Chain A
Amino acid sequence: MEDAGFILGSYALTLAAVAMFAWRTIRSGRRLAEQVPDEDKYWL
């Protein structure tokens, strides 16, 4: 079942890539939020 490895691998790689990018985005947001007062966060 060589095909199954490639197919499952493609889904796993995709999910891992977007999860890593999402995690990096959230982490940088949290780190920066500590340095910026709430009144400067226009979305709040």
Chain B
Amino acid sequence: MNGDHDDDDTGNTMTTTDPAQTADTVSITAPRSTGTSATRVVGVAAIVAMAWLVAFGLGFSPADRDQEEAVRILYVHVPTIWLAYLAFVVTAIASALYLFTSKQSLGWDRAAGASAEIGVVFVAVTLVVGALWGRLTWGVFWQWDARLTTTALLFVTYVGYLAVRRLGGSHRQRARRSAVLGLIAVLEIPLVHWSVRLWRSLHQEATVLDTDGDIDMDGLMLFSLFVGVIAFTLLYAWLMMHRVRAMAMEDLVEDRGLDAALAARRAEGGA
């Protein structure tokens, strides 16, 4: 805290030394934010992995025999939906931990909310990027196909989940109602994943997460996909750390505002 370095990510103490004032060191203490050394490490790793994804996705990986260059879009499209699934499963697990543990820690509720926010961003990216891939492969941006429709429904459901979190009431009320919704909404994921088998679908079936365990992909293509998964996983972890901490501060600020309003009301009543 008293070091002579700038620590901008965490907003830690920033100490500046004026050469004209050799005896005096001017210290400016900024409030410390959601960053820590862990977020910095994960953040840098995520940026490096993203750069690798761009290099492999757009450069090193070969064109596909059937899809040709359009396959490059899948190195973004597939990892984002996998990470969205993961984010929503984390929301469900954190919701269950809030509801079914004796402590009922609000930390689980905040983890559920943060994960759902990130998941919604990833599904939005999947839908938009998938539309671009569809235009190149099928000739249309959108079809009311089983996979596309269920994915859009997943997106709308979790936007609804985030809206429910903002309905008002106490933190405990918010946590309870959103935890119930988080546990119900996650049931959509198997429906989305298996939609290509349950109904006749324009969308191709799973290549990697298939039941027969046989991956029919070129090695460099599979590696590019793997880089994409690593990049978005690191990004997810980095966003989770920051968002959960920001949500904890949001709750504190809200509690203090409420306390201040109650104190003002009592003072008014006493006067």
Contacts and interface: CB of A to CB of B under 8 A. Distances in A.
Nearest to A35: B253
Contacts of B128: 10, 13, 17
B129 interface: yes
B165 interface: no
Contacts, number: 110
Contacts of B33: 26, 29-30, 33
Q: Is the interface of A mostly helix, strand, loop or mixed?
A: helix
Interface residues of B, number: 42
A15 B47 CA distance: 11
Interface residues of A, number: 32
Nearest to A42: B248
A33 B132 CA distance: 39
Given A17-B124, A22-B239, A43-B34, A36 B135 contact: no
Interface of B: 11, 31-36, 50, 54, 57-58, 68-70, 72-73, 76-77, 80, 118, 121, 124-125, 128-129, 132-133, 135-136, 235, 238-239, 242-243, 245-246, 248-250, 252-253, 256
